[in-house]
Structure 1
């Protein structure tokens, strides 16, 4: 695994594209999953692989990208198109993964799967970020992470297990070496005072942020 190689994975959920995000991913290698290909044009990227069962990609979308390599799968299969796309990115050398279109949308089952998949991959050594453009999420693992948030940014830590040794610095509601029970809402809707540092001794969690402090959603 090359931890220095970022890879963009285009998934089928909604994506609000900002100039900053478009500039960030310019020149990145990318893979698209089925209807996630619709994000490619507005992002200014050309995926090197288009993968899936193609049950949600429109004929117009297919016609717009005739030269992109495709891998087709049956609709009845053991993995989602998104998981297949992530696997393909890893096989092509991805170290850091950004799953664009990985949050929100009308398929909450897929969005939840992307969150759990991100946590699993983080435990296996990959840095994984999910984004809808309106919200971002980063999988957390034991250790310390510093997040360059602006003052007023709303953020939450969603635990997928009991979280031990949780410390939050730089927030309206700080914590120090706290044990967060599984299923607790204690760490939902915090606010950054500026850059935030999070330390976790053990457990599995997702950090969810809303980049626009004025977006109350």
Structure 2
């Protein structure tokens, strides 16, 4: 099952975003993420959050949809509350939209929150960027146009990564946490091929060029 989380950050309604949203079988809107649901013509299965950023007007557009409200002073982000509900459905794929852009702290938190569930086929989409994760002993093939810009960030102390069909290829390279060596690479030919022997990496793809 493909589950979709709609958060309240920036979201460009690209062809990719519209296609993925249409494929979703279970949809949770996190607070003001309901605005994206309206823009995409989607009917969420559940709305969660403290509703500090979703207006009464926004909520009225989705009367009859189950809601789970929480106090503004809480220990979890609305995104985390939405993710917890999605995980109850045991999906085989999770897409987060509108979880990046806007506030930098929220964007970084979203990237790290999602990384805790990297083994559950989770990805983030903004319409301008896509973020995928690769866990140890896994491979990933991405169909991307030549010259597409992408970056790799190690989310562990060291991640041993192989990259093929790129401008800068790597073979069991020890990519360290907190360095920029994996930033600003380009696809040479499709598919972009990645393999990870150990560690955890985030793959950030730019779609605006």
Q: 1:156 aligns with which of 128, 151, 166?
A: 151
Q: Deviations over 1:34-67 (max 9, x none)?
A: 0011000222211010000000001221121112
What TM-score comes out, normalization by structure 2 length?
0.94
Does the Cα contact within 8 Å between 1:103 and 1:114 map onto a contact in 2? yes
Q: SS of the counterpart of 1:171? A: coil
> Which residue is equivalent to 2:206?
210
Match of 2:71 in 1: 74
**8 A contact 1:121–1:128 mirrored in 2:** yes
Unpaired segments ≥5 residues, structure 1: none
For residues 74-129 of structure 1, give each alpha carbon's deviation from its aligned partner in whole angstroms, at most 9, with x where no partner exists: 11111111000011011123221100011111x2212111111111101xx31011
> Which runs of 5 or more residues in structure 2 are unaligned?
none
Tell me what 1:130 maps to.
124
1:140 aligns with 2:134: yes
Whether the 8 Å CA contact 2:150–2:184 is kept in 1: the answer is: yes
State the shift of 1:27 in Å: 4.7
C-alpha root-mean-square deviation of aligned residues, in Å? 1.3
Counterpart in 2 of 1:96?
A: 93
Q: Equivalents in 1 of 2:19, 2:192: separation in Å?
A: 24
Deviations 1:161-215 (A, max 9, x none): 2333311101001111111122111110100012211111111221000124x2x
What residue is the counterpart of 1:11 in the other structure?
Answer: 7
Alignment pair present for 1:40 and 2:37: yes
